[in-house]
Amino acid sequence: MQPLSPGALGLTPIAGLDVSGNVSLAAYTRFAIGGPAAVLVDASTEAALVSAVRALGAAETPYTVIGGGTNLIARDEGFAGVVLRYTNASIEIEGEPGEKKSITVAAGAVLQDLVDRAIALGLGGLETLTGIPGWVGGAIYGNAGAYGHSLHESVHSVRYLDAADGEIRELDKTACQFRYRESIFKQRKHWIVLSAALDLSPADPQKLRETATEIRKIRDEKYPPTMCCAGSIFKNLMFAELPEPARADVPLKAVREGKVASAYFLERAGAKGMTRGGVQVAEYHANLIFNKGAGTARELRELIAELKQRVRERFGIELEEEVQYI
């Protein structure tokens, strides 16, 4: 199908707006799974995004917003409306050399690009996030983190577009309600992250680079860049919130920073190596599902449901996905 014109959707044809029709979502998700989106709209500027959101809302056109697609499961049937992406990838630095600096990063920036930029400038706080795929907007949305640290620790404020009224607003860190893999943006689906202001302090670039290199090696071994997966499928669990029988079952060495890895329970429930059609749980990691090449969203959802059921029946625990769904 030929690319559609903005006017065909009631969109004002302005700079920064790119519209395409019948686009495979499999090409935009790390699982490489998903049917066609009727329309894909990329907005590279705030003005273009605001224009698109207001026009789609006025026309009551169904649409959904995605980022880099690294933590996303798209339906085999695709999406009958508009899939909207904010692709602005700007990273701006403020502050004198050797001092604490403020970085303003747009939601469409690749998270690894932000991490690399901070390390190159000798700014600490983001180095443990190295190797996490995806865009900054999704990382804010899900409060991405690893190795005992999360993105919210460096956040000063977040700007967002309220799709309900088309207005741009800003929240400070407290108002963002960051928690483990959570933020207010997960509760307000009509709020679209535009950018975040981060506060970072000077650190030894060599030590930052060494930390990032070590972490990247571990992550690439666990989640090879070529593997069609979303990293961990399920959130880890807060030890204090587990049912008493489950807590009694967990050895103290399995509790880290107050959390127990979902993989601990999944492995004991026999998850490793389980398959459903073209998708499989890794033989070496019970909380990792990957597409072997011809997997479908239906198979992926069915395998996730079976894993949740097994853990529920054995431990009385309800696992919660990190992945999001279209």
Catalytic residue positions, numbered: 181, 232, 322
Find the DSSP H helices in the chain: 46-58, 111-120, 136-141, 184-187, 205-222, 244-249, 262-268, 297-315
| CA geometry: angle 231, 36, 73, nearest 5 deg | 20
Whole-angstrom distance, CA of residue 155 vs CA of residue 203 = 17
Which residues partner with 123 through β-bridges? 202
Question: Which sign, positive or negative, has the C-alpha torsion 278, 279, 282, 283?
Answer: negative
Whole-angstrom distance, CA of residue 308 vs CA of residue 316 = 10
Query: Which residue carries 């000798």 as its tokens?
Result: 122
DSSP string across 230-274: EEESB--EEGGGS-HHHHHHS-GGGEETTEE-HHHHHHHTT-TT-
Strand pairing report for 191-202 and 101-106: antiparallel
Whole-angstrom distance, CA of residue 13 vs CA of residue 19 = 10
Is 72 exposed, middle or buried (CB count within 10 Å of its CB: 0-12, 13-18, 19+)? buried
Produce one character per residue of 40-53: b if its CB has 16 or more CB atoms within 10 Å, e if not: bbbbbbbebbbbbb
Whole-angstrom distance, CA of residue 297 vs CA of residue 299 = 5
Query: Which residue carries 């070496």 as its tokens?
Result: 284
Helix (H, G, I), strand (E, B) or coil at 276: strand
